[in-house]
Structure 1
Amino acid sequence: MTTTSATPQHTAAELFAQALRHEHRPNPYPHYEQLLREPIARMDDGNWLATGHREISLLLRDPRISADRLPPPQQRPIRKSLLVEDPPKHDQLRQLVSRQFVPRVMGMRDHIDKLVTDLLDAHISEQPGHLDVVADLAYPLPVTVICELLGVPREDESLFGSLARRLTRGLDPIDTQTEDEIRELQETRAELQQYLEGLIARHDAAPGGDLLSGLMHSQHPEGPMDPIDLRVTLGLLLIAGHETTVNLIANGTLALLRHPDALARLRTDPDLATPLVEEVLRYDPPVQMSGRSTLADIDIAGTTIPKGSRIRLLLAAGNRDPQRFADPDRFVPDRADNAHLGFGGGIHYCIGATLARAEAQIALTALARRLASPGLVADPPPYRENAILRGPESLPVSFTRLSPDNGGA
């Protein structure tokens, strides 16, 4: 794999551009290591890049920072999602969603465990075989969970999954997308809008006990949610509710197979899953970066970011910052004081963090317990096109036996 040179002629913009290239998707971290030498850097296009853990943490919590980093007004959608909204609208939307989301997520561990068991049971074998961790577990698990939570009919899961996979490419920097990709994204957004409007209409006519029905028919003084906000929020939850978890499980599996001592420990100590998933979120996070814009001049790291600037927050670089983490390039499954940026921070901290943690903890523990002598078929595996939502496209794993769920592997 090509690594970067430490020569001075590499500017932050050049290093960042190299990190975004698909051939570096399996390991962008050498580029991040060099970018960390300048924790706040001005890019050639006038935007800014934050890589230091301390600097990113401060910016995520600074009220002078806006989550709105969308295109100019003439190119904007009618409504913004809570992901890019600021207070007070953000707080109102988040409260409405949390009121419906959190109670439904609590107590789901047994159901998630059954889903994982069923998915792996389909591949039980006393003989050597292969399992694609992405296609057979990491993808269907969170898709099924979020569809059940939101009330998406099972027969629609494949359509929704296809839409979500196509839309995630739109999260990447615009200069990494081709004209054909941009055109396809516009068509896919229109297709998603049409699908969501139909889904909302069906739930309006026949509400159930799902989250969508709850948002539509809430009796709380601040509910129900406005119809347009409902559609935008539903689209966000459908996509964000599973795409990041797919990568979290896949990246966690990769880390375990590359660190057999950690895998052996997890096999005999399921309690290790809790700190281990936190270390995956630090070491190889499913969301590599986020964006913000400034509402005022901000003095930070010896420089001033002017009002009206856009900032890319390179979360994955902050997670490898040696100023914050000892031996940051080493995977330590029980790392203490692990204040990673895997779920962001501040008022926009990931609303689905509890659910994602549960899904990853249960899935990785089951893989460790049930797969005998697992190994990577290809290392590195093929990676998806996405730079922001970074993870393997597929993850074939060999094994000598896939045991029933009886606690033995």
Structure 2
Amino acid sequence: MTQSLLHQILDYANRADPYPLYEELRKTPVHHDEGGPYVIGTYYEIRSLLHDPRISSDASNLASTAGDPLAESSQGDSALPPSFLRLDPPEHDRLRRMTNRPFGPPHSPHRVDGMRPELHEIVTGLIDGIGDTDRIDLVEAVSYPFPVTVICRLLGVPREDEARFHSWADTIAASLDPDPDADPAERGKVAHDARMQLGMYLAGLIEERRKNPGDDMLSELATAKGPDGAMTTMELLSTAALLLIAGHETTVNLVTNGMLTLLRHPDVLRRLRAEPQLAVPLVEELLRYEPPVQLVPQRTTLADIEVHGVTIPKGASLWLVLASGNRDPKRFENPDRFDPDRRDNQHLGLGSGIHSCFGAPLARLEAQTALAELARRLENPRLLEDPPPYRQNAVLRGPRHLPIACDGIRP
């Protein structure tokens, strides 16, 4: 029996290169297998739906989960309340405003930009620590420890606790993967347990910060009493868990996908070494060309919505394939070409609308810093495996390991 197009997209066998499948997806503006979710892969339709108030992010609005593997695996998980990412206005807006006060403009305009020297110092230390240059796993050496160290410092989570929350974060991130072959009940239980453990760990940190606040985000969130009042303990726990996990999971992929792309385009790698300022537009093109978040599943229609003459009924499960929209030739010229000089690059790599990536300014700066330094310091870097081994996850797509070699490390 032939696999449906959606199941082919989710099939790990196609993880290394899903883009031909996305091209097939775009031929049908609204793809729908009976009993499954409605899947959208074209740029303008995705962008419009991301801004449509008739689209809900709240899983409780999903009328039916039949045929939707992600929805099946995520129901009944009550270890922590939903983060603001999984809420609709006005609750989403309130919690996002409160979280943003210690993070970005207008209340904390220099929080991210002020981290530039610290980011450079962390990357430099990681590259200095690379030992044998005959075989380097870039994920283990730089791509993973870099954003983990950054988010720990930003939140005020002890870096030495990474070994404790690593497995919980991995499990929770894996639960986002709509793997049709997984046992939804078993995966739901594992994810619930991981959330429970992470929640208990964060509860201890929050209690400590309330008693002895520092200058970190967790302290500010735990003690703040702004115009929206204070977060409840449970709201604070779910927000802290979101920031801790999302604050490094996507950036690991962005840096790893970035270095993989550069090693496949040595001319661009040489340019970046000579022109470090190229890192800014280069990261934008990476977010279009190889986005760390490939698709947004588990959205729900709050009313009947017509897309290209197809009526998506109220209560339907809706999936938006951002990575497909980013390669839509109706929006981007030569979309399968990696071009850091691309103009008008309004990609969907960080989402759009009210749920656009909260940590986008930090993720951009981390990727710019890491890729510019790697390009400058690694002498004659080259891939040892192409394609490298990928993570199972179809949503957070990126190499699990990136084995490379180089001739040495420049000072």
Q: TM-score, normalised by structure 2?
A: 0.91
Q: 1:199 to 1:216 in 2, by over 3 A?
A: same
CA contact (8 A) 2:284 2:345 kept: yes
Choose the corresponding residue for 2:135, options 127, 130, 135. Answer: 130
Give a deviation string over 1:263-296, Cα, whole Å, max 9, x none.
0111101111111111111111100111311111
Q: Could you tell me how far apart the structure 1 residues matched to 2:136 and 2:27 are?
A: 40
Q: 1:365 to 1:193 in 2, by over 3 A?
A: same
Name the aligned partner's letter for residue 57 of structure 1. R
CA contact (8 A) 1:263 1:368 kept: yes
Matches within 5 A, 1:214-293: 214-291=220-297, 292-293=299-300
Name the aligned partner's letter for residue 79 of structure 1. P
Residue 97 of structure 1 is matched in structure 2 by: 99
Which secondary structure state, in structure 2, belongs to the residue aligned with residue 108 of structure 1?
Answer: helix
| Identical aligned residues as a percent | 51
Q: Could you tell me how far apart the structure 1 residues matched to 2:138 and 2:150 are?
A: 17
Q: Could you tell me how far apart the structure 2 residues matched to 1:168 and 1:70 are?
A: 20
Give a deviation string over 1:341-372, Cα, whole Å, max 9, x none.
11000011111000000000010011111111
Q: Could you tell me how far apart the structure 1 residues matched to 2:318 and 2:370 are?
A: 35
Residue 387 of structure 1 is matched in structure 2 by: 394
Structure 2 unmatched runs, 5+: 64-74
Give a deviation string over 1:239-276, Cα, whole Å, max 9, x none.
00000000000000000000011101111011111111
Matches within 5 A, 1:6-45: 14-45=4-35
Q: Could you tell me how far apart the structure 1 residues matched to 2:270 and 2:356 are?
A: 32
Matches within 5 A, 1:80-159: 80-102=82-104, 103=108, 104-123=111-130, 129-159=134-164
Name the aligned partner's letter for residue 296 of structure 2. S
Q: 1:155 to 1:295 in 2, by over 3 A?
A: same
Number of residues of Structure 1 aligned to a counterpart in Structure 2? 392
Matches within 5 A, 1:249-398: 249-291=255-297, 292-398=299-405
Give a deviation string over 1:35-68, Cα, whole Å, max 9, x none.
0101222232242001000000000001111112
- Root-mean-square deviation over aligned CA pairs: 1.8
Which segment is superposed worse, 139-148 or 70-79? 70-79
Name the aligned partner's letter for residue 155 of structure 2. L
2:408 is aligned with 1:401: yes
Which segment is superposed worse, 140-149 or 103-112? 103-112
Q: Could you tell me how far apart the structure 1 residues matched to 2:90 and 2:221 are?
A: 19
Q: Could you tell me how far apart the structure 2 residues matched to 1:241 and 1:217 are?
A: 21
Which segment is superposed worse, 225-234 or 180-189? 180-189
Q: Could you tell me how far apart the structure 2 residues matched to 1:129 and 1:209 are?
A: 41
Which secondary structure state, in structure 1, belongs to the residue aligned with residue 31 of structure 2?
Answer: strand
Choose the corresponding residue for 1:164, options 158, 169, 191. Answer: 169
CA contact (8 A) 1:376 1:397 kept: yes
Matches within 5 A, 1:201-216: 201-216=207-222
Q: Could you tell me how far apart the structure 2 residues matched to 1:261 and 1:361 are?
A: 18
Q: Could you tell me how far apart the structure 2 residues matched to 1:71 and 1:192 are?
A: 26
Name the aligned partner's letter for residue 138 of structure 1. S
Which secondary structure state, in structure 2, belongs to the residue aligned with residue 93 of structure 1?
Answer: helix
Q: Could you tell me how far apart the structure 1 residues matched to 2:281 and 2:159 are?
A: 33
Q: Could you tell me how far apart the structure 2 residues matched to 1:203 and 1:394 are?
A: 35
Give a deviation string over 1:152-206, Cα, whole Å, max 9, x none.
1122122122211121111112634235444322221221122122222222222
Q: Could you tell me how far apart the structure 1 residues matched to 2:36 and 2:251 are?
A: 33
Residue 81 of structure 2 is matched in structure 1 by: 79
Structure 1 unmatched runs, 5+: 1-8, 405-409
1:306: how far off?
Answer: 1.2
Q: TM-score, normalised by structure 1?
A: 0.92
Which secondary structure state, in structure 1, belongs to the residue aligned with residue 24 of structure 2?
Answer: helix
Q: Could you tell me how far apart the structure 2 residues matched to 1:380 and 1:123 are?
A: 22
Name the aligned partner's letter for residue 93 of structure 1. L
Name the aligned partner's letter for residue 307 of structure 1. K
Q: Could you tell me how far apart the structure 1 residues matched to 2:401 and 2:204 are?
A: 32
Q: Could you tell me how far apart the structure 1 residues matched to 2:375 and 2:394 are?
A: 28
Residue 72 of structure 2 is matched in structure 1 by: none
CA contact (8 A) 1:40 1:55 kept: no
Which secondary structure state, in structure 2, belongs to the residue aligned with residue 160 of structure 1?
Answer: helix
Name the aligned partner's letter for residue 94 of structure 2. Q
Q: 1:220 to 1:180 in 2, by over 3 A?
A: closer
Q: Could you tell me how far apart the structure 1 residues matched to 2:95 and 2:291 are?
A: 26
CA contact (8 A) 2:254 2:291 kept: yes
Which secondary structure state, in structure 1, belongs to the residue aligned with residue 175 of structure 2?
Answer: helix
Name the aligned partner's letter for residue 163 of structure 2. S
CA contact (8 A) 1:70 1:76 kept: no
1:325: how far off?
Answer: 0.8
CA contact (8 A) 2:61 2:315 kept: no
1:220: how far off?
Answer: 1.5
Q: Could you tell me how far apart the structure 2 residues matched to 1:254 and 1:185 are?
A: 30
Q: Could you tell me how far apart the structure 1 residues matched to 2:378 and 2:36 are?
A: 50
Which secondary structure state, in structure 2, belongs to the residue aligned with residue 107 of structure 1?
Answer: helix
